[in-house]
């Protein structure tokens, strides 16, 4: 009896929730304006996406002028609720397993199982008021060989068209080339928007789409600084990461001169990454440190989204060198010798800044496409002297590949970071 | 009767009689016989900690394993595992399954599945980052994961839900696993989770799903080959944004008219096409005796750079700037270009079985037309493309 009462109560609650949610569903559609330019409309009003790939720091994101987040899967539905509470919309990813993750698109059992599972996810989230766009698959094209994956993408997009007329469909690819543009155009007619994850290749992305005859709109679904996969390496294959200040300039230019200027086709963008993750280093794409403190990239995004810098700005490391040799070069040191690290930075309006340093073993990884990488544990840094711009330390006794990090932060914890890989031999 | 004739007759009789009494046993193919499962002696993998052996039960920073006696599906207790791979490369446990006796799964491969019951303490999931691994006595492993189609109710929640893992779902063929001599079953866990597991058994199961072998490859093994047939397989021509490159009509097959302004900062100076419908084009049997040829209609020879791209491989791009010795003037203002594939630097390292695209960059301002792209037989000196008498 008690079970029946509980069941009834759950049913009533569920129906009420469904009705409430239904009434809050936002109609989102791709349309064209008087100039013939593509626009995203939400409840009939033009909606330009100022977004970030984010799973955290939502309050600061909203405060910085963003209006949307992109997440990569439906694993955690609470992100939608968190976004909704802050008036942020969500491009919701449907995780379509890539071939590089072991998926075999010639295996009918695996393909159908995945489709049925994702259909269930679509039904679960289609009426969420924060939902903006469906992101069907992320970089399924990266090192793929089986073009049948596009059949799965189309099956899901077509299903969305049947059950959810309120939200457009997008598939996200790792850079664009003419073959991918052709396959998606040909095999995925139910896809409304092309999502582009573009780092170095953002420079020509808009022009290339036109050359490759992609005639629908696009969203820059991931962008930022050039990725580790595009970076120069040392002679021992360690990726060379530019200092935060250099990366900040690159972000600002790309937003202002590439993303924002394409009014005709681009519906907006999601910067990467409003959070922290290990990708060759702990600081490459993340706009936050592992301790949750924001870097100057956050300030840059506020400037891009709102047109003004925050009152309190993070300092900015513009240059870093080891033994008077710049960060772009190889650094080979003898074991257990005195080494000098120097940095150049801008304090902006900070009266006081704090310098910190850390040493890590080099984190070589052959993972690609944002696949999960493990962070190395820090090593003891044997500091001899430290000033406002310089650090003298003893190189490790053990031979091997290392990376030294310099952090400059203000009293609020806003920071800038730079690093240099070096080899002890 | 001679001895050899007697032996032959004896052998024939022996074969005939033996064949009559032989059973139809498939050594390497999966059997669909359901009666085979009845005879299979190792149908129970886990019902309680006392009955069945497991290994990898030692707790560490990444996994916490216990046998809980409350709310079990069957038997005295059940397995409860909590895991978090943040600091571990591998999290797994193994089932000794018949105390490590070598198990021949061939007879039951197409007619049986591993079945287990799972539940969680709260909430609802549609998937768990958990893999099932079969290991043979050669140390080879094949794997699969939970498929939504065989997850009871399409979810894992606080009820004991049935999961089936058909043997056919394991990638044993790709991994070279000997399904006739399986040692154990392993459960591997990734990312983070918390799961109750009970009653791991082998049950009858029909698995009616196909495995196709599509490769999206077009093999060319004879000359001549017309390339880039169909304008939808071309790029770089979009009259909405540029009139610098447009489709032409001077030749029998596809052609483009080029009238560029190369002084522009971002000149629209490149076009390309798929050799065949953006599929992988396999020229592996003929590339050493092939040349790319096309026609050019121009007042003077244009500066053209040809590029070939592969879908995969270490060297994905080959390129060559065409010079005067690549061209023959067939009539006034009409040239034919010949580019032997062996003349491209690095051609030995190029994946000729996955050719993707042929692309041209134009570095001339004078208008001209080029088209009728073909791959022809070429057996001359690659360094002297127009000297071969065969063209």
Residue-wise pLDDT tens digits, A258-270: 999 999 999 999 9
Q: Point out the residue among B89, B127, B274 whose CB comes nearest to the CB of A117.
A: B127
Q: Point out the residue among A110, A207, A213 whose CB comes nearest to the CB of B147.
A: A110
Mean pLDDT of chain B: 91
Looking at residue B219, what DSSP letter applies? E
Q: Percent of chain A beyond pLDDT 70?
A: 92
Work out the pLDDT band at B389, boundaries 50, 70, 90. Answer: confident
Candidate from A133-142, B50-59, B352-361 with smallest mean pLDDT: B50-59
Cβ neighbours of residue A402 under 8 Å, at least 6 residues apart? A359, A360, A361, A362, A379, A396, A421, A422, A423, A424
Work out the pLDDT band at A363, boundaries 50, 70, 90. Answer: confident
Q: Point out the residue among B154, B169, B356 whose CB comes nearest to the CB of A179.
A: B356
Residue-wise pLDDT tens digits, B43-102: 999 999 988 789 999 999 999 999 999 999 999 999 999 999 877 889 999 999 999 999
Q: Point out the residue among B154, B270, B312 whose CB comes nearest to the CB of A120.
A: B154
Q: Point out the residue among A117, A148, A212 whose CB comes nearest to the CB of B126.
A: A117
Q: Percent of chain A beyond pLDDT 90?
A: 86
Work out the pLDDT band at B292, boundaries 50, 70, 90. Answer: very high
- Chain B residue at shortest CA distance from A75: B125
B73 touches chain A (CB under 8 A): no
CB contact under 8 A, A109 and B147: yes
Best probe of the A interface among B193, B278, B360, by most A CBs < 10 A, is B278
How much is the ipTM here?
Answer: 0.86
Cβ-based contacts of A178 with chain B (< 8 Å): 235, 272, 274, 278, 357
Q: Is the pLDDT of residue A11 over 60?
A: no
CB contact under 8 A, A148 and B241: no
- Chain A residue at shortest CA distance from B242: A211
Candidate from A240-254, B11-25, B178-192 with smallest mean pLDDT: B11-25
CB contact under 8 A, A106 and B168: no
Which tops the pLDDT comparison, B312 or B265? B312
How many A×B Cβ pairs under 8 Å? 80
Residue B390 is predicted with a pLDDT of 86
Taking an 8 Å Cβ-Cβ cutoff, which residues of chain A contact chain B? 102, 104, 106-110, 112-114, 116-117, 120-121, 143, 145-148, 178-179, 181-183, 186, 207, 210-213, 374
Cβ-based contacts of A110 with chain B (< 8 Å): 147, 169
What is the rounded CA–CA span in Å between residue B261 and residue B366?
9
Residue B18 is predicted with a pLDDT of 41
Residue B21 is predicted with a pLDDT of 39
Best probe of the A interface among B125, B175, B212, by most A CBs < 10 A, is B212
- CATH superfamily of the domain spanning A16-223: Glycosidases (3.20.20.80)
Q: Point out the residue among B143, B150, B357 whose CB comes nearest to the CB of A178.
A: B357
Residue-wise pLDDT tens digits, B104-120: 999 999 999 999 999 99
Cβ-based contacts of B206 with chain A (< 8 Å): none
In chain A, list all ranges with CATH 3.20.20.80. 16-223
B207 touches chain A (CB under 8 A): yes
Work out the pLDDT band at B161, boundaries 50, 70, 90. Answer: very high
Domains and CATH numbers, chain B: 26-204 (2.60.120.430), 217-387 (2.60.120.430)
Work out the pLDDT band at B31, boundaries 50, 70, 90. Answer: low
Selected from 2.60.40.1220, 2.40.110.10, 2.120.10.30, 2.40.50.110, the CATH number assigned to the domain covering A316-424 reads: 2.60.40.1220
Work out the pLDDT band at A279, boundaries 50, 70, 90. Answer: confident
Residue-wise pLDDT tens digits, B224-243: 999 999 999 999 999 999 99
Residue B56 is predicted with a pLDDT of 92
Residue A144 distance to chain B (closest CA, Å): 9
Cβ-based contacts of B143 with chain A (< 8 Å): 102
Cβ-based contacts of A374 with chain B (< 8 Å): 87, 89
In chain A, list all ranges with CATH 2.60.40.1220. 316-424
């Amino acid at each position: 009896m008690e079970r029946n009462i509980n069941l009834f109560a759950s049913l009533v609650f569920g129906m009420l929730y469904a009705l409430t949610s239904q009434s809050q569903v936002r109609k989102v559609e791709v349309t064209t304006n008087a100039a013939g330019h593509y626009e995203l409309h939400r409840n009939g009003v033009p909606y330009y996406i100022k977004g970030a790939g984010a799973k955290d720091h939502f309050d600061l994101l909203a405060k910085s002028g963003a209006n949307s987040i992109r997440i990569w899967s439906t694993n955690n539905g609470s992100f939608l609720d968190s976004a909704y509470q802050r008036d942020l919309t969500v491009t919701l990813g449907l995780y379509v397993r890539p071939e590089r993750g072991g998926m075999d698109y010639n295996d009918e059992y695996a393909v159908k199982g995945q489709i049925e599972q994702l259909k269930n996810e679509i039904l679960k989230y289609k009426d969420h008021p924060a939902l903006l766009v469906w992101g069907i698959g992320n970089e399924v094209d990266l090192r793929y060989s089986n073009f049948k994956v596009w059949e799965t993408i189309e099956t899901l997009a077509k299903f969305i068209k049947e059950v959810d007329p309120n939200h457009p469909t997008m598939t996200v690819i790792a850079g664009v080339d003419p073959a991918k543009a052709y396959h998606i155009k040909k095999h995925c007619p139910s896809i409304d928007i092309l999502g582009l994850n573009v780092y170095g290749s953002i420079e020509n992305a808009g022009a290339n789409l036109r050359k490759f005859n992609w005639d629908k709109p696009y969203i820059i679904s991931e962008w930022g600084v050039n990725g580790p996969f595009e970076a120069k390496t040392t002679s021992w294959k360690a990726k060379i990461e530019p200092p935060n200040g250099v990366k900040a300039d690159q972000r600002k230019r790309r937003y202002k001169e590439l993303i924002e200027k394409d009014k005709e086709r681009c519906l907006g963008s999601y910067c990467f990454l409003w959070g922290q993750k290990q990708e060759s280093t702990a600081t490459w794409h993340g706009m936050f440190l592992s301790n949750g403190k924001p870097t100057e990239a956050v300030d840059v995004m506020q400037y891009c989204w709102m047109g003004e810098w925050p009152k309190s700005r993070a300092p900015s490391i513009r240059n870093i060198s080891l033994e008077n040799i710049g960060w772009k070069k190889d650094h080979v040191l003898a074991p257990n010798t005195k080494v000098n690290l120097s940095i150049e930075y801008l304090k902006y309006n900070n009266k006081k800044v704090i310098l910190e340093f850390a040493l890590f073993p080099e984190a070589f990884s052959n993972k690609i496409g944002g696949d999960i990488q493990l962070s190395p544990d820090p090593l003891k840094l044997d500091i001899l002297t430290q000033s406002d711009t310089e650090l003298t330390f003893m190189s490790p006794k053990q031979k091997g590949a290392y990376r030294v990090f310099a952090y400059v932060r203000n009293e609020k914890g806003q920071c800038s970071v730079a690093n240099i890989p070096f080899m002890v031999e | 009767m001679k001895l050899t004739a007697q032996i032959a007759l004896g052998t024939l009789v022996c074969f005939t009689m033996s064949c009559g009494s032989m059973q139809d046993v498939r050594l390497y193919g999966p059997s669909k016989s359901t009666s085979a499962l009845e005879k299979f002696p190792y149908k129970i993998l886990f019902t309680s900690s006392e009955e069945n052996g497991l290994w990898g039960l030692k707790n560490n920073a990444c996994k916490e394993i216990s046998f809980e006696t409350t709310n079990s599906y069957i038997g005295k207790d059940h397995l409860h595992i909590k895991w978090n791979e943040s600091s571990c490369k591998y999290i797994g446990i193994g089932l000794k399954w018949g105390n490590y006796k070598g198990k021949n799964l061939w007879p039951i491969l197409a007619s049986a599945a591993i079945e287990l019951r799972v539940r969680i303490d709260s909430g609802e999931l549609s998937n768990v980052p958990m893999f099932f691994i079969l290991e043979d006595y050669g140390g080879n492993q094949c794997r699969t994961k939970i498929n939504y189609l065989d997850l009871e109710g399409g979810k894992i929640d606080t009820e004991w839900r049935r999961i089936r893992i058909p043997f056919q779902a394991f990638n044993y063929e790709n991994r070279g696993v000997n399904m006739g001599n399986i040692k154990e079953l392993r459960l591997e866990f990734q990312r983070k989770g918390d799961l109750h597991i009970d009653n791991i058994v082998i049950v009858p199961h029909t698995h009616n799903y196909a495995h196709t072998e599509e490769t999206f490859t077009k093999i060319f093994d004879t000359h001549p080959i017309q390339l880039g047939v169909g304008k939808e397989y071309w790029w770089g021509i979009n009259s909405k944004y540029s009139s610098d490159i447009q489709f032409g009509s001077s030749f029998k097959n596809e052609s483009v008219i080029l009238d560029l302004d190369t002084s522009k900062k971002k000149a629209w100076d490149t076009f390309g096409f798929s050799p065949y419908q953006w599929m992988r084009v396999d020229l592996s049997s003929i590339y050493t005796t092939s040349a790319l040829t096309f026609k050019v209609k121009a007042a003077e020879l244009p500066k053209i750079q040809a590029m070939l791209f592969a879908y995969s491989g270490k060297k994905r791009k080959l390129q060559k700037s065409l010079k005067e010795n690549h061209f023959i003037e067939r009539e006034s203002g009409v040239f034919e270009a010949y580019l032997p594939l062996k003349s491209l630097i690095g051609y030995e390292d190029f994946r000729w079985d996955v050719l993707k695209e042929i692309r041209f960059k134009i570095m001339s301002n004078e208008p001209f037309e080029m088209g009728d792209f073909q791959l022809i037989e070429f057996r001359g000196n690659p360094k002297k493309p127009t000297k071969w008498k065969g063209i």
